[in-house]
Structure 1
Amino acid sequence: MGVKAFGTALVGLGLVGLAGCAGRGELDETGGVTAVRSACPTVAVPAGTGDVTLFDPATSQDASAIDMTAVLTNVRSTCNDAGEQIGTAVTFDIDARRMRTTGPRDVDLRYFITVVRGGSAVVAKRIGTVRVHFDAGQGRAVTRGQASATVSRAAATLPADIRAQLTRRRKAGEEDAATDPLTQPQVRQAVLRASFEALVGFQLTDVQLRYNATR
């Protein structure tokens, strides 16, 4: 499907799947900890965007006016980092419940997929739609959503000098043995620039966001 980027060509997003990565730490033979960094973006659901509540009438937020609720759950991701473009894929379920079960009903729910660089810079975003179908008499329905993202390997790779500082073995007694390289501003900024997150959640209105934050 088509790709639309905002402000940069580093990342492309499509509505086919979204991805994640895993990091791990293990003890090495010197008693220190070896951290394994992946170029794959971390996948997450931003706080306050994992559920949506619809009201009838739409202008009310009384409990008695709740028409339907939906939760974005079972987020699963994979990542293919074998090439120059790192492809990531995510699937998720929409678990919806309605209050009135008379007759069949279809509800379209909007969701977003966005890629964030360095913890704050949105470099790409796309909005998709998932349709939830209720049969007559059915109060609960579950449907599957999916999307995709690609990240340039070059953008997600640390410069050689920064990698050398992070991976250099330090021995007890050395002046900087107990100093975390990430306390150095240039190292910390380089790691941030090479770090990406792929975020998925419901595309909510300002009113819906406030409701989720204050209920």
Structure 2
Amino acid sequence: MKPWILAGLALSALGLSACNQNPLRVKRSPCPAVAVPLHAGQLTRFDPAQSRNADAIDLTAQLVDVRGACIEGSDYLITDVSFTVAAQRRDAGPRREVYLPVFVALAQGGNVLVSKQQSGVMLVFEEGATRAEARGGGRAEVHRSAVTLPAEIQERISRERRPDEPDALIDPLSNPQVRAAVRAATFEVLVGFQLDDASLAYNLGK
């Protein structure tokens, strides 16, 4: 996968949210965010394959209802991903099965590919139907130590700030050292279609 595809859908690599009890205090979730990379969430197939005319579109598919569930173990954070592939074919013909490859990748800091698994879904267009859906899933694991911030950085981020303090309204992430540490300890689980060069170029040109 191209690094810029990973960066294209970087979900706030920081994963910080305001604490309900104190708006000047922030907390960070170690669980990876789940996202669909830019240009990898749709797939178009043509017949004939070399054509790119609208009337040659054989079927289109997109990833929808992408979800992630994080299981926090003592050593690993496990993210179980589920998704639906919704597709539409051009002609309501006979029953047809179509296999579409899908990847689940673990990225660090928005642009470093750590691991990648490829699977897929089998779509079944029943006779006379133009639409089909299939559910798929995957799993990604990251060691807890990799998402644990150094104690000094964690203290800067999570310490309580009183309104009368000089740095009360200063975002701790404005400090380059803090920002770099948080980025290195942030992971994303990315889900997308495994596209060939021609399919990726078509998506880029839309």
Same fold (TM over 0.5): yes
Which position in structure 2 is the counterpart of 1:97? Answer: 88
Letter in 1 for 2:71: N
Q: 2:27 aligns with which of 36, 53, 56?
A: 36
**Cα root mean square deviation, aligned:** 1.7
Q: 1:205 aligns with which of 196, 200, 205?
A: 196
Q: Contact 2:25 / 2:161 at 8 angstroms: preserved in 1?
A: no
Return the alpha-carbon distance in structure 2 between the equivalents of residues 102 and 174 of structure 1.
Answer: 70
- CA deviation map 1:150-169 (0-9, x unaligned): 11111011111111111223
Offset at 1:25? 2.2
- CA deviation map 1:160-212 (0-9, x unaligned): 11111112233344443343221222111110011000000101112211211
The 5 A counterparts of 1:1-215 are 24-28=17-21, 32-215=23-206
**Secondary structure, counterpart of 1:33 in structure 2:** coil
Letter in 1 for 2:135: R
Q: Contact 1:27 / 1:33 at 8 angstroms: preserved in 2?
A: no
Return the alpha-carbon distance in structure 2 between the equivalents of residues 45 and 169 of structure 1.
Answer: 35
Stretch moving more, 184-193 or 166-175: 166-175
Letter in 2 for 1:91: S
**Can you give the 5+ residue segments of structure 2 that lack an aligned partner in the other structure?**
1-14
Which position in structure 1 is the counterpart of 2:9? Answer: none
Letter in 1 for 2:171: D
Return the alpha-carbon distance in structure 2 between the equivalents of residues 178 and 99 of structure 1.
Answer: 56
Return the alpha-carbon distance in structure 2 between the equivalents of residues 33 and 39 of structure 1.
Answer: 20
Aligned residues, how many?
192
- CA deviation map 1:60-107 (0-9, x unaligned): 010010001111101122111132111111111111111122221111
Q: Contact 1:96 / 1:142 at 8 angstroms: preserved in 2?
A: yes
Return the alpha-carbon distance in structure 2 between the equivalents of residues 157 and 27 of structure 1.
Answer: 23
Letter in 2 for 1:110: P
**Secondary structure, counterpart of 1:49 in structure 2:** coil
Offset at 1:23? 5.9
Return the alpha-carbon distance in structure 1 between the equivalents of residues 43 and 195 of structure 2.
Answer: 7
Q: Contact 2:24 / 2:160 at 8 angstroms: preserved in 1?
A: no
**Can you give the 5+ residue segments of structure 1 that lack an aligned partner in the other structure?**
1-21
**Secondary structure, counterpart of 1:128 in structure 2:** strand
Return the alpha-carbon distance in structure 1 between the equivalents of residues 182 and 62 of structure 2.
Answer: 33
TM-score when normalising by structure 2: 0.87
Q: Contact 2:27 / 2:157 at 8 angstroms: preserved in 1?
A: no
Q: Contact 2:24 / 2:169 at 8 angstroms: preserved in 1?
A: no
